[in-house]
Amino acid sequence: MLYGILITLFGLVYGSFLNVVALRTLEGRSIVRPPSQCPHCGARLSPRELIPIVSYVIQKGRCRACGARISFLYPLGEALTAALFLWLFLLWREGRLSAWEALSEAVFASLLIVVTIADLKSLRIPNPVLLFFAPVLFFLRWAADPSGIGRILLGGLLFGGVFGLIYALSRGGMGFGDVKYAAVLGLYLGPEALLPLILLASLSGFFVALALIAAGRKTRKDAVPFGPFLSLAAWVLSLYGRDLVVWYFSLW
């Protein structure tokens, strides 16, 4: 229990950092300087205003200095990171993941969260984020299976090629950032995950878009970021891909 609480607290703090990476990278700003400040009035945030989730709730989602509304993406990124890290910890404790696998999945989760926050914010996936994580994920996969370098590269090329074709055929329905993101995901997931990823991401995106339209939050002409659905599908496949394949074939 204690370790689970510590992992959750670490996830909240680390999630706050991932928010900074996602949002500042979109603007081409340093993730180190200046210190955290209100994006509206520029007021520097005090330590009590930087407590993950708690400060957002206490301040009712508004800046203490100017009263401007704070984006829900901040607590979302913090809560999401804490949840995924706790998830990995529980899988490791149950023996379903080795320490190395849990570490690799934590790095992979970091990419998924940063891309999700960035895409929700601006419908863009920052190139610097992909350029940083691509070699890191490649190394993690190569270190786990030195003989599988061909499979790793094939995954990236296949994902990038197929999503590039979808991008060309969609005529603007998909952003090119999704193509580059898919290529990075392919390095980690491997070529066999391509079709399941497309299926899971498309289905989840379809149902969420349908719900938003039914609720009046979106229209059929409004763009819906696809990156979060790629992230969701990638997370499920990275942890349960083999189980899903076994389950699918058991149906037949």
C-alpha–C-alpha distance, residues 233 and 197, integer Å: 6
Render 132-187 in DSSP notation, one character per residue: HHHHHHHHHHHHH-GGGHHHHHHHHHHHHHHHHHHHHHHTSSS-HHHHHHHHHHHH
Domain coordinates of the chain in residue numbers? Answer: 1-96, 101-251
Residues 68, 38 contacting (CB under 8 angstroms): yes
Kindly report, residue by residue over 121-163, the tens digit of the pLDDT: 999 999 999 999 999 999 999 998 888 899 999 999 999 999 9
**With bands split at pLDDT 50, 70 and 90, how would you rate the model's confidence at 67?**
confident
**pLDDT given at position 248:** 64
**pLDDT given at position 7:** 95
- Can you state the percent helix, strand and coil of the chain, rounding each to 5? 75, 0, 25
**pLDDT given at position 200:** 94
**pLDDT given at position 231:** 97
Region 24-44 average pLDDT: 80
89 has pLDDT over 80: yes
3-state secondary structure of 86: helix
Report which of 152, 156, 76 is spatially closest to residue 118, judged by C-alpha positions.
76
User: Cα-flanking dihedrals φ and ψ of residue 135, to 5°?
Assistant: -70, -30
C-alpha–C-alpha distance, residues 118 and 217, integer Å: 20
Region 17-45 average pLDDT: 83
Residues 158, 195 contacting (CB under 8 angstroms): no
Q: What angle do CA 125, 232, 124 make, to 5 degrees?
A: 10
**With bands split at pLDDT 50, 70 and 90, how would you rate the model's confidence at 73?**
very high
Pick the more confident residue, 35 or 136.
136
C-alpha–C-alpha distance, residues 199 and 202, integer Å: 5
221 has pLDDT over 80: no
Pick the more confident residue, 47 or 187.
187
43 has pLDDT over 80: no
Placement of tokens 């399941």 in the chain: 196
Region 80-103 average pLDDT: 95
